[in-house]
Amino acid sequence: MSRTALWSLILWLVFLPLRAVSLEPVTTGTLIEEMTNMVRLADFPEPAYKTIQFSSYDRRSKLPGGPDWFANSDGFGGESIPNFEAVLAEPDDQGIGEYLMCDVRSPGAIVRMWTAAIEGRIRAYLDGAEEPVFDGPAREFLQSPYRRSAEAAGMDPEIFEATFRQRDACYFPIPFAKSCRIVWRGNVQRIHFYEIQIRCYDPATKVTTFQSEDLATYRSRIERIAKVLAKPGDMWEYQSSQEAAPIEATILPQQTAEVLALEGPQAIERITLNLAAKDLDRALRRTILHIVCDDYPWGQVQSPVGDFFGAAPGVNPFDSVPFTVRPDGEMTCRFIMPFAKSCKIRLENKGDQQVHVSGSILPVDYAWNDSRSMHFRARWRVDHNLVADGGSGVRDLPFVIANGAGVYVGTAVMLLNPNPIPTPWGSWWGEGDEKIFVDQDVQPSTFGTGSEDYFNYSWSAPDIFGFPYCGQPRDDGPANRGFVVNHRWHIMDAIPFRSRIAFYMELFSHERTPGLSYARIGYHYGRPGLSDDHIDISSEDVRHLSLPPDWRPAARFGASDADFYQAEDVLVDQHRTEFVANAMWAKDRLLVWNPASGNDELAFKLPVKQAGKYVIHMTAAFTPRSGKLAIRLDGKDVGFGGEEGIVDLEVPYRTLARTVSSERIELSEGDHVLSLHYQGKLPGDSDRQIGIDFFWVQKQR
């Protein structure tokens, strides 16, 4: 029996006792409304559905825990087993074949698609139609299937960017009444990464199939939702007519304070908190948020405050549908939290300093439904001193294992990665796939292709980004070294479960890396009676984390054939320079230059051991106080800063270690002078600082 036929049988069995049907048909319009509808997540879904994912995961991974369970050929090309549901046409003499991506035979909707990069073409058929609803480049379908229809409807396709399309994923919904069949035509020896998430509804559900005219029909709705998705923190419309209840408390070390108590039935529509302490980073990790609904013995929510809001350690601003973190430290949660009788919010200070908490809770009227209502749950867990591995040490890390009924709605990971390789190829921690077992799954109904793919980006990218449903608000660098935070919210692609969920993510790194710390939260709703594998948070769990001292960049993987030079060791003179001590920087210190004027210059002497082709790299501090530079080698522009020749080191709110690079150039043996030319000063530009950590001269082969 094929996998698609098996899914059809499983779905029929899952929904057999459920025959409830929504009075309102599922349409493109209703699904678009769901993109910002947080209230619906708090009730077990009706009409019922199961979320499944089709992806290019390695088909050798058949037996959980078996010999090939961590096989990792998932879309680069040349896999021993094609990464598809079936081979429809064997490759021709040009290597081009046809392959089945998915074949769903029930009412449903495509709710998320992703690709890192994919070649070839896709044909998508809905409801068994002879003519495809889409026939064109595969990457266009997976990342912007709306573009052609939007242009035909006279809409600006740009309104979909960073709203419906988020980084490398697309959340524009495509409903279908009977079936969805997607076929890829291309060369399996070439790149073909993909993920397609589909809701499979109760067979009796009424669904109106997507048509290209839907963009014109629902234009005003699309434009309204896009405005909210573009700026959730500013554009969100709360439903409550009640007054916000203030929170104000000072919590002494090793003390717990109940900061608010509410009587039900009600729900919390918004939580806003702000912490103040002498060491804020420590306070955000060591102050535990407990939200206890309906007199349960321990909180449905148990998490360090900063981690709960998806941004810790520290304050790392981002704006998404369920969470917004402001630069001033104000943190807001918009997940709806219903309760039948009572809700108590407690804050536990596991640290050694006094913490002041301020904020508010916005209650909203909510009628608890004994058949469908659910409690919101966020249970934080951490493993310290892990050894990440890309060989025999790969393992599955549990995020949530629970028995009962509920809906999975989000994931956040907070890591400390001490790997010393200054390139993404080498320091990458997240080669591992997500594996989500739901109900009677023997194989995961969601099987991914890499951690960054799950979080909607690609190629272990270290850049800071944020979208309505995903983000990377912190990645210290260089590359993937240091503190890293990723999050993804399952709003359109929520994952209901009726009896069980087991969410794992592989810990799979490019090279063996001891000393990794991996904290995570699996956000979900649960019907009363849901039980999970949660263990209470200990003081050791929330101990203060620091980067290992005196690290040195390693010439491996993407940094192979590189000679590294600390900035202070090759400095020609100490013109207006000083040092800043911090374990973020190689050898625990950063050379800081304080340029005096717009034509100020700082020079370094870089040795080249052998004549040949090289790339010169400079790893520097990107900070709010940094500025713009022109970088020359032996007085010549060698490609630093691209066509404009200007490197801008300024970033808001954060301190990052990032690398800028020259073009590939021919160099003679001996010393070469690299000079930094400050580009300023403008009014109010008097306190700029340029931080240079190290240079690397990398031979090209």
Write down the pLDDT at residue 9. 47
pTM listed for this prediction:
0.95
Q: How confident is the model at residue 7 (pLDDT cuts 50, 70, 90)?
A: low
Q: What token pair was written down for 578? A: 């000083």
- Burial call 265-291: b when 16+ CB within 10 Å, e when fewer: bbbbbbbbbbbebeebbbbbbbbbbbb
In the CATH scheme, what is the code of domain 382-539?
Answer: 2.60.120.1390
Q: Decide: 112 and 170 in contact? Cβ < 8 Å.
A: yes
Could you identify the residue written with the tokens 């087993």?
Answer: 81
Distance CA 436, CA 494 (A): 12
pLDDT at 273 over 70: yes
| pLDDT, tens digit (0-9, with 9 covering 90-100), for 550-575 | 999 999 999 999 999 999 999 998 88
Write down the pLDDT at residue 21. 42
Write down the pLDDT at residue 12. 46
Instruction: Tell me what percent of the residues of the chain surpass a pLDDT of 90.
Output: 93
Task: Tell me the C-alpha to C-alpha distance, in Å, between residue 160 and each of 140, 451, 537, 612.
Answer: 13, 25, 41, 47
pLDDT at 591 over 70: yes
Look at strands 318-319 and 395-403 and give their pairing.
Answer: unpaired
Q: What token pair was written down for 308? A: 């709960």
Domain boundaries, the chain: 3-230, 242-373, 382-539, 561-699
Q: What is the mean pLDDT of the chain?
A: 95
Phi, psi of 30 (to 5 degrees): -65, -35
Mean pLDDT confidence for 687-700: 95
- Type and span of the H or E element at 307: helix 305-308
Residue type at 261 in one-letter notation: A
Write down the pLDDT at residue 347. 98
Q: What token pair was written down for 323? A: 């969470």
- Type and span of the H or E element at 216: helix 214-217
Write down the pLDDT at residue 598. 73
| pLDDT, tens digit (0-9, with 9 covering 90-100), for 185-207 | 999 999 999 999 999 999 999 99
**What is the biggest distance separating any 2 CA atoms in the chain, rounded to whole angstroms?**
79
Q: How confident is the model at residue 282 (pLDDT cuts 50, 70, 90)?
A: very high
Q: How confident is the model at residue 146 (pLDDT cuts 50, 70, 90)?
A: very high
Q: Decide: 77 and 192 in contact? Cβ < 8 Å.
A: yes
Distance CA 421, CA 556 (A): 7
Q: What token pair was written down for 524? A: 């979900």
Distance CA 162, CA 181 (A): 27
**Half-sphere CA count of 504, side-chain side, radius 13 A:** 19
Q: How confident is the model at residue 503 (pLDDT cuts 50, 70, 90)?
A: very high
Name the least confident of 158-167, 346-355, 574-583: 574-583
pLDDT at 1 over 50: no
Any idea which fold 561-699 has? Answer: Jelly Rolls (2.60.120)
* Nearest CA among 441, 459, 443 for reference residue 451: 459
Mean pLDDT confidence for 77-81: 94
Mean pLDDT confidence for 126-140: 97
Mean pLDDT confidence for 277-283: 97
CATH number assigned to the domain with residue range 242-373, chosen from the 4 options 3.30.870.10, 1.10.1270.20, 2.60.120.1390, 3.40.50.720? 2.60.120.1390
| pLDDT, tens digit (0-9, with 9 covering 90-100), for 645-671 | 999 999 999 999 999 999 999 999 999
Distance CA 241, CA 246 (A): 16
pLDDT at 28 over 70: yes
Mean pLDDT confidence for 290-319: 95
Write down the pLDDT at residue 311. 80
Write down the pLDDT at residue 5. 47
Mean pLDDT confidence for 312-329: 96
pLDDT at 617 over 60: yes
| pLDDT, tens digit (0-9, with 9 covering 90-100), for 222-237 | 999 999 999 999 999 9
Find the length of the chain.
Answer: 701
pLDDT at 13 over 60: no
pLDDT at 4 over 80: no
Query: Could you check whether 242-373 and 561-699 share the same CATH topology?
Result: yes
Q: What token pair was written down for 113? A: 């698609």
Mean pLDDT confidence for 587-605: 92
Q: Is 17 helix (H, G, I), strand (E, B) or coil?
A: coil
Could you identify the residue written with the tokens 């629970």?
Answer: 402
pLDDT at 15 over 60: no
Write down the pLDDT at residue 680. 76
